Amino acid sequence: MSCRVGTCSGVETERGFRQSGGVTEIWIKRGVAQREKGDGFGKVVMAVLLVALAGWFAGCEKPANQRPEAFSVDALLPKEAQPTLQTMKIWLGPEEMVVELAVTPEQERAGMMFRTNLAENAGMLFALPVAQRASFWMKNCPLPLSAAYIDPEGIIQEIHNLEPFNTNAVEAATSNIRFVLETSQGWFQRHHIGPGTAVRTERGPLLETFFGRR
């Protein structure tokens, strides 16, 4: 992402706030897609995350100007590229791509940070716990990327170009984004893929693949 702002993108179902010593603590009860042994991607578990932030971030995603004096967002960010994640084949219309799967908060937060190469037909797919107004930035991301914002039905709604190291979040135009696919900048244009294109995996529809239901 780049990374997600609001894990860094405001992925939550419930949240609460309390203040102490000028620092705002935000608790977030959010759905997190996690893989369990023998269970593939069919289970979604709920996790309670405690984040001490005045403004919150996440895979590469956070408003850079919302930092409390007592806390540095950078302290929570990865310092190096994460290892290659589990991969899966997907299809965008007739076009095939092999993607890494970012499905935990840690994987989302690291995203494409510090990656220095990306094959032409490769990318990273983010499965968000709930449909939302996704928001990604490019902090610590040296590669120019393009991101497709995809709805729960697996239909591309928006495509955005993401510039290296840009810490301005690129927010979705709608609040109905469930998946985000990042790949080399210009890939969608080169392969004639645009909004309205259906995305599916080797296991079926996106929602069924990651959350076990349509």
Angle at alpha carbon of residue 210, lines to 29 and 173, rounded to 5°: 70
* Tens digits of residue pLDDT in 116-165: 999 999 999 999 999 999 999 999 999 999 999 999 999 999 999 999 99
pLDDT at 74: 74
At 1 the pLDDT is 56
Domain-wise residue ranges, the chain: 1-214
Q: Is residue 98 helix, strand or coil?
A: strand
The pLDDT mean for the chain works out to: 77
User: What distances in angstroms separate CA 148 from CA 12, 80, 99, 134, one per listed residue?
Assistant: 21, 25, 13, 11
Q: What is the CATH number of domain 1-214?
A: 2.60.120.1140
Predicted confidence (pLDDT) at residue 7 exceeds the cutoff of 50: no
pTM of the model: 0.70
Which helix (H) or strand (E) segment holds residue 200: the answer is strand 199-201
Measure the CA angle with vertex 162, ends 157 and 163; round to 5°. Answer: 165
Q: Is 60 exceeded by the pLDDT of residue 108? A: yes
Q: Report pLDDT digits (tens) over 61-90.
A: 443 444 444 456 677 788 999 999 999 999
The pLDDT assigned to 196 comes to 98
| Res 75: pLDDT | 74
Q: Which of 52, 44, 63 is nearest to 4 (CA)?
A: 63
Say what the pLDDT of residue 2 is: 64
